[in-house]
Amino acid sequence: MHKLTISSSAPDFKLPDQAGKIHQLADYRGKWLLLYFYPKDNTPGCTIEACKLRDSWADFGKFNVSVLGVSADSVASHDKFAAKFELPFPILSDESKEMLTNYGVWQEKTMCGRKFFGIVRSSFLIDPNGKIAKIYDKVKPAVHAAEVLKDLEVLAKNY
């Protein structure tokens, strides 16, 4: 898999959300899409990120942006996580890790000297034509929603 770049086509996907509804990239043609990849439901950073996106939901709506969270957790885990924190957006389950691999976020990580594979917290802002408009590496959960909204003010205006 080559590294994704700005203006390249976003890789397609077809995955279930927390309610079992299938989502694919084509469903979001004609609107902005924020795909945010996170390591694990109910962990501190992931919860902060999801809640900040939830709290900015109305602001995302002003830009006609859909938000999709993605992790390797199960549909059942996502269902509990979304209900617990009243998340207004779908969270996709990629237990096969195909989408995670296609977007380059399934990588070798190191913690406490131990190497393992996991999700690197990253996001992709996809334009209404399915092209990658912005890539966010090393996302900081507490400020990510505000960062994306700031970028949308410029990108959506120039689109």
DSSP string, the chain: -PPP-TTSBPPP-EEE-TTS-EEEGGGGTTSEEEEEE-S-TTSHHHHHHHHHHHHTHHHHHHTTEEEEEEESS-HHHHHHHHHHTT--S-EEE-TT-HHHHHTT-EEEEEETTEEEEEE--EEEEE-TTSBEEEEE-S--TTTHHHHHHHHHHHHTTT-
Domains identified in the chain, total number: 1
Let me know if 46 is a catalytic residue. Answer: yes
- Kindly state whether residue 44 falls inside one of the protein's structural domains: yes
- Kindly state whether residue 54 falls inside one of the protein's structural domains: yes
- Kindly state whether residue 147 falls inside one of the protein's structural domains: yes
pLDDT in tens, 15-51: 999 999 999 999 999 999 999 999 999 999 999 999 9
Q: Which structural domain range is residue 135 located in?
A: 28-155
Q: What does pTM read for this prediction? A: 0.94
- Kindly state whether residue 14 falls inside one of the protein's structural domains: no
- Kindly state whether residue 16 falls inside one of the protein's structural domains: no
- For the chain, what is the mean pLDDT? 94
- Kindly state whether residue 65 falls inside one of the protein's structural domains: yes
Active-site position among 15, 35, 46, 68: 46
pLDDT in tens, 96-106: 999 999 999 99
- Kindly state whether residue 35 falls inside one of the protein's structural domains: yes
pLDDT score recorded for residue 2: 55
CATH number at residue 70: 3.40.30.10
pLDDT in tens, 77-114: 999 999 999 999 999 999 999 999 999 999 988 888 98
